Amino acid sequence: MTPQDQKNIEAIQNAIKNIKNFVDFENAKDKIQELEKQIDSPDFWDKAENAISVIKERDKVRNSISIAQDLEIKLRDIVGFIELADAENDLESIAEFSKDLELLSKEAFTIQIEAILSNAQDSANCYVEINSGAGGTEAQDWAEMLARMYFRWAEKRSYKTEITDKTDGEEAGVKSITLYIKGTKSYGWLKKETGVHRLVRISPFDSNARRHTSFASVSVTPELDNDIEIEINDTDLRVDTYRSSGAGGQHVNKTDSAVRITHIPSGIVTQSQVDRSQHRNREIAMNMLRSKLYALKLKEQEEAYKSSQNKSDIAWGNQIRSYILQPYQMVKDTRTGIEKGNAMAVLDGEINEFLEAAISMIA
């Protein structure tokens, strides 16, 4: 068995272990029995909506068990075949089964990602807010480049995107921009993008062609459904209206339809100018505020957990990735160590490898 085969086996075993952890494999059978008792009760269908929910939950748990078991069976079979072929010195069969092992490793990794993204909020649509750092035009251009990167990524996944708020830079780029990305598990996929992104390049705005370093912050929050309660008191809000920005001409907005909401206790500010209706912009801004307050709650819970575990690893808002365009091309994730040499492809939305690696990091 080759070193690569051993590496693939370890990767599959690790994926199976993580899948079992995330689906609570040890208690899954008890959970199924509990749900089936409910299904067998005479009055089960008296409340049809609840009955359907119970059946879906049972099928989900049952499927989770079978996925892990199927991977274990496939791994055991392929390893057995490789050992047999190795004993008979059948090089052709060894090569064939090694390919099967590599394919199974990729399959297990994909299933592991899906298992990790199983929390309720992971399924949500999301808001991606990008703010330029210090550095004027250079940083503002970088913020716009990041927005384009997420647009292109979403486009490749057939997700829908919309700009809910945008403040243009004085010369180029944007001071801030908020994207609404709608698609299956868009929050789950992008949640690890929260943090500071760093760009190193020869500035197109510098007549002396000097190398510049720019920063932009990204914040990803889930769109909340109506089942999640976030208490917001009207007395805690300051609501301002203003005239939304535009290109001018006949399409310029001549009314104060844009809305900015400040949540006084937390200092969180949300705003929307995407719609001509002030009422609709207020609704969008309120939805964003609920999402940000929920994300803040999750952050506090995560920090409390890390504190209790005496962990001091990645903190929210720290630099997570560097994009170097000169003197060479490289994009490196500081958390996972993943590197890609084709920086322009990354900026064109090819970020799945970074997303998968960040998601699959088990705390």
pLDDT surpassing 80 at residue 328: yes
Which DSSP state fits 327?
A: S
pLDDT surpassing 80 at residue 51: yes
pLDDT bin (cut points 50, 70, 90) of residue 313 is very low
Which of 38-47, 171-180, 257-266 shows the highest mean pLDDT?
171-180
**Domain-terminating residue out of 256, 273, 297:** 297
Pair 167, 36 in one domain: no
Q: Which residue has the higher pLDDT, 323 or 53?
A: 323
Pair 73, 93 in one domain: yes
222 located within any domain: yes
304 located within any domain: no
The identity of residue 49, as a single letter, is E
The proportion of the chain whose per-residue pLDDT surpasses 70, expressed as a percent, equals: 89
Alpha-carbon distance of 325 to 343, in angstroms, equals: 7
Pair 149, 184 in one domain: yes
Closest CA to 187 of 131, 118, 272, 132: 118
176 located within any domain: yes
Alpha-carbon distance of 192 to 351, in angstroms, equals: 12
Tokens of 90: 């059948």
Pair 224, 256 in one domain: no
Query: What residue numbers bound the domain in which 350 lies?
Result: 124-229+309-359
Alpha-carbon distance of 80 to 218, in angstroms, equals: 47
45 located within any domain: yes
Pair 20, 56 in one domain: yes
Alpha-carbon distance of 336 to 321, in angstroms, equals: 10
pLDDT number for residue 314: 28
302 located within any domain: no
pLDDT, average across residues 291-317 = 55
Question: What CATH number corresponds to the domain at position 154?
Answer: 3.30.70.1660
pLDDT bin (cut points 50, 70, 90) of residue 275 is confident
Pair 225, 242 in one domain: no
pLDDT surpassing 90 at residue 159: yes
Cis peptide before 3 (omega within 30 of 0): no
pLDDT surpassing 60 at residue 311: no
Strand order of the sheet with strand 237-242? 237-242, 258-263, 268-272
Pair 158, 215 in one domain: yes
Q: Are 146 and 128 in contact (CB under 8 A)?
A: no
Pair 168, 277 in one domain: no
Q: Are 259 and 278 in contact (CB under 8 A)?
A: yes
Pair 172, 263 in one domain: no
Pair 157, 223 in one domain: yes
Alpha-carbon distance of 149 to 131, in angstroms, equals: 14
pLDDT number for residue 362: 56
The identity of residue 293, as a single letter, is L
Pair 340, 266 in one domain: no
Closest CA to 67 of 18, 8, 34: 18
Q: Which residue has the higher pLDDT, 102 or 291?
A: 102
pLDDT bin (cut points 50, 70, 90) of residue 230 is confident
Which residues sit opposite 196 in a β-bridge? Answer: 217, 319
Pair 292, 252 in one domain: yes
pLDDT, average across residues 252-261 = 72
pLDDT number for residue 363: 44
**Domain-terminating residue out of 64, 89, 116:** 116
Alpha-carbon distance of 199 to 202, in angstroms, equals: 10
pLDDT number for residue 189: 94
Which residues sit opposite 127 in a β-bridge? Answer: 180, 221
pLDDT bin (cut points 50, 70, 90) of residue 227 is low
pLDDT bin (cut points 50, 70, 90) of residue 225 is low
pLDDT surpassing 80 at residue 354: yes
18 located within any domain: yes
Question: What CATH number corresponds to the domain at position 74?
Answer: 1.20.58.410
Alpha-carbon distance of 37 to 65, in angstroms, equals: 19
Question: What CATH number corresponds to the domain at position 256?
Answer: 3.30.160.20
Q: Which residue has the higher pLDDT, 250 or 78?
A: 78
210 located within any domain: yes
Q: Which residues of 125-135 are buried (b: 16+ CB within 10 A; e: fewer)?
A: bbbbbbbbbeb
183 located within any domain: yes
**Domain-terminating residue out of 297, 318, 340:** 297
What is the total count of domains within the chain?
3
Does pTM surpass 0.75?
no
Q: Are 316 and 299 in contact (CB under 8 A)?
A: yes
Closest CA to 295 of 118, 124, 161: 124
pLDDT number for residue 316: 35
